[in-house]
């Protein structure tokens, strides 16, 4: 079975500080990994995805994530936090199931940005 | 970009009534759509996979007679919560993956969700 674990349900950073949201995966096959962001009372928006190409993936809004097979990690980073980054972030893994890809989400990390 | 429209965004209904939620892919076709449920401060739980022209596939523990799914066209899936009860109050989100070559592992496009409150 494939799954993702997000360490830390809440992360607080100061505006302008580095953002680091952690995600570890377990997978018996090369995984497809995603980061999504959710603003209050809204659906999810894709930040970035890893599909076995480059290990360092750049996404929208200045976010990036690095796939590290040796550490089974796919941590999300942003060099300088902005107030508008305050949201909930979900790491997800995609796996084949019954002829299609089923996406499993982590438990989410709520990011708070302090002015 | 691909847009998924979900309607209504909020609905309040009385216990015992039924509520229908629509999920439309506006600028792409989607043979497969997914319905998720999200409890407060929790992650998304997959309820069922909706397949155009065939029966939906429900996850373990999800009552198919209570959560009726109809995927009548390549751009529309509906979720009907039948005989709703207060414990059905939740945030329901649909998603879709575009039908195109190489989309097997392409990301999902999400609707903005429906906040259901059953009184």
What is the pLDDT, as a whole number, of residue A31?
A: 78
- Residue A62 backbone phi and psi in degrees, to 5: 80, 5
Tell me the pLDDT tens digit for each residue of A86-110.
999 999 988 766 666 778 899 999 9
Chain A partners of B109 at a C-beta cutoff of 8 Å? 46
Least confident span in A67-71, A83-87, B96-100, B108-112: B96-100
Q: Which of A42, A103, A108 sits opposite B113 (nearest CB)?
A: A42
Question: Which tokens is B45 given?
Answer: 């739980």
Question: Which tokens is B112 given?
Answer: 């903005």
Contact (Cβ atoms closer than 8 angstroms) between residue A82 and residue A113? yes
**A 54-93: CB under 8 A from B:** 90
What is the pLDDT, as a whole number, of residue B102?
A: 59
Nearest alpha carbon to residue B36 among A90, A98, A61, A11: A90
- Looking at the complex, report in whole angstroms how far the Cα of residue A38 sits from the nearest Cα belonging to chain B: 9
CB contact under 8 A, B113 and A106: no
CB contact under 8 A, A41 and B91: yes
CB contact under 8 A, B105 and A44: no
Going through B3-113 in order, the beta strands assigned E by DSSP cover 4-7, 10-13, 19-25, 32-38, 44-51, 57-58, 67-73, 76-81, 90-96, 109-110
Nearest CA in chain B to A35: B107
What is the pLDDT, as a whole number, of residue B37?
A: 95
Please determine, for residue B105, whether its predicted confidence score (pLDDT) is greater than 70: no
How confident is the model over B60-80, as a mean pLDDT? 94
What is the pLDDT, as a whole number, of residue A71?
A: 92
CB contact under 8 A, B113 and A107: no
CB contact under 8 A, A103 and B46: yes
Q: Which of A42, A45, A51 sits opposite B105 (nearest CB)?
A: A51
Q: Which of A42, A46, A106 sits opposite B43 (nearest CB)?
A: A106
Q: Which of A9, A41, A43 sits opposite B111 (nearest CB)?
A: A43
pLDDT, chain B, mean = 90
What is the pLDDT, as a whole number, of residue B97?
A: 83
Q: In which band, very low, low, confident or very high, does the pLDDT at B8 lie, cut at 50, 70 and 90?
A: very high
């Amino acid at each position: 079975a494939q799954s993702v674990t997000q360490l830390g349900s809440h992360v607080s950073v100061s505006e302008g500080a580095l953002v680091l949201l952690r995600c570890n995966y377990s997978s018996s096959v090369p995984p497809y990994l995603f980061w999504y962001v959710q603003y209050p009372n809204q659906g999810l928006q894709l930040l970035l995805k890893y599909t076995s190409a480059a290990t360092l993936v750049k996404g929208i809004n200045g976010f990036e994530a690095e796939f590290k097979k040796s550490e089974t990690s796919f941590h999300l980073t942003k060099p300088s936090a902005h107030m508008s980054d305050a949201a909930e972030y979900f790491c997800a893994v995609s796996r084949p199931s019954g002829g299609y890809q089923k996406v499993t989400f982590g438990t989410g990390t709520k990011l708070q940005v302090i002015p | 970009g691909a847009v998924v429209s979900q309607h209504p965004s909020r609905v309040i209904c009385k216990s015992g009534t039924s509520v229908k939620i629509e999920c439309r892919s506006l600028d792409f076709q989607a043979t497969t759509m997914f319905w998720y449920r999200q409890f407060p401060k929790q992650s998304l739980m997959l309820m069922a996979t909706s397949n155009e022209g065939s029966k939906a596939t429900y996850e373990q523990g999800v009552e198919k007679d209570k959560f009726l799914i109809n995927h009548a066209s390549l751009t529309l899936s509906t979720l009907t919560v039948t005989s709703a009860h207060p414990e059905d109050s939740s945030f329901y989100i649909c998603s879709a993956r575009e039908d195109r070559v190489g989309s097997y592992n392409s990301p999902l496009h999400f609707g903005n969700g429906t906040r259901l409150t059953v009184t």
